[in-house]
């Protein structure tokens, strides 16, 4: 039992922070995020009708940072550099996968060519949002960008370690609203006989569902990376 416990806690210890100190670091991060959110609520006009949407970006960001810390910490404990350098094929898969997630999540797309650059204010984590409309349309939404890039990096590590790009990519394919939302909405609309009420109800839960799927996928890919090293 002690051997299994040591194996489970080794990535935490390898980060350079004992579990207790890591918990304190995470608590400090959450504290800073809470202060940012309170400051935004103080200066922002209007009422918040769905408070959970203010918290989801921090869930994505914190979970992504924790996953990256565990993988890098585990590599440091094994004296690997940069979390284990993936090969050229794995890098290409990771980049392609990142592009797929960014496109499906609405962060990149076909632009109108106007060259307009816009900065939008939004709650912490959601914003500030940067929009660019050139040959390619770009939208920088902080929590999505961080989550997708970390997930793509982890997939590249799994591919590099296991050489199974199709299986690895499938782990996170449904992590974004752009991927899961239309499928779920279409399914509910079909089951509800095309009911507008049913469609609207699931649409309201799209970020709830995508956050759950993102976390499950992130845990699965992180576990795959750590497992591939043992």
Task: Determine if residue 113 is left, alpha or beta; phi over 0 gives left, psi from -120 to 50 gives alpha, anything else beta.
Answer: left
Return the bridge partners of 136, or none: 110
Catalogue the E-assigned strands of 75-216.
108-110, 116-120, 129-133, 136-140
Catalogue the E-assigned strands of 42-169.
108-110, 116-120, 129-133, 136-140
Which of 29, 19, 100 minimizes the C-alpha distance to 64?
29
Domain count, the chain: 1
Q: Which residues of the chain have pLDDT under 50?
A: 1, 81-83, 165-166, 168-170, 172, 174-175, 177-178, 181-183, 194-195, 198-199, 202
Rounded to 5 degrees, φ, ψ at 104 are -65, -30
> What's the domain range around 158?
2-228
Per-residue pLDDT, 221: 85
> Cis omega (within 30 of 0) on the bond before 128?
yes
Query: Nearest-5° angle of CA 184, CA 205, CA 148?
Result: 75
Residues in the chain: 230
Per-residue pLDDT, 17: 56
DSSP structure class, residue 124 = B
In sign, the C-alpha dihedral spanning 42, 46, 49, 50 is negative
Return the bridge partners of 139, or none: 131
DSSP structure class, residue 81 = S
DSSP H or E run through 106: none
């Amino acid at each position: 039992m002690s051997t299994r416990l040591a194996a489970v806690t080794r990535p935490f210890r390898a980060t350079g922070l004992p579990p207790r100190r890591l918990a304190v670091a995470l608590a400090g991060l959450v504290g800073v995020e809470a202060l940012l959110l309170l400051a935004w609520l103080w200066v922002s006009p209007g009422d918040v009708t769905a408070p959970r949407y203010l918290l989801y970006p921090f869930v994505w960001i914190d979970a992504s940072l924790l996953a990256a810390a565990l993988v890098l910490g585990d590599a440091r404990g094994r004296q690997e550099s940069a979390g284990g350098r993936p090969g050229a094929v794995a890098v290409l898969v990771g980049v392609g996968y990142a592009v797929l997630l960014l496109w499906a999540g609405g962060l990149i797309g076909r632009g109108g060519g106007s060259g307009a650059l816009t900065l939008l204010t939004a709650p912490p984590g959601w914003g500030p949002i940067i929009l660019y409309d050139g040959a390619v349309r770009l939208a920088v939404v902080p929590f999505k960008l961080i989550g997708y890039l970390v997930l793509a990096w982890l997939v590249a590590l799994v591919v590099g370690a296991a050489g199974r790009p199709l299986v690895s990519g499938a782990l996170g394919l449904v992590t974004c609203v752009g991927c899961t939302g239309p499928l779920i909405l279409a399914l509910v609309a079909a089951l509800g006989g095309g009911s507008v009420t049913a469609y609207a109800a699931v649409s309201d839960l799209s970020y709830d569902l995508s956050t759950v799927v993102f976390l499950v996928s992130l845990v699965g890919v992180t576990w795959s990376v750590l497992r591939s090293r043992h």
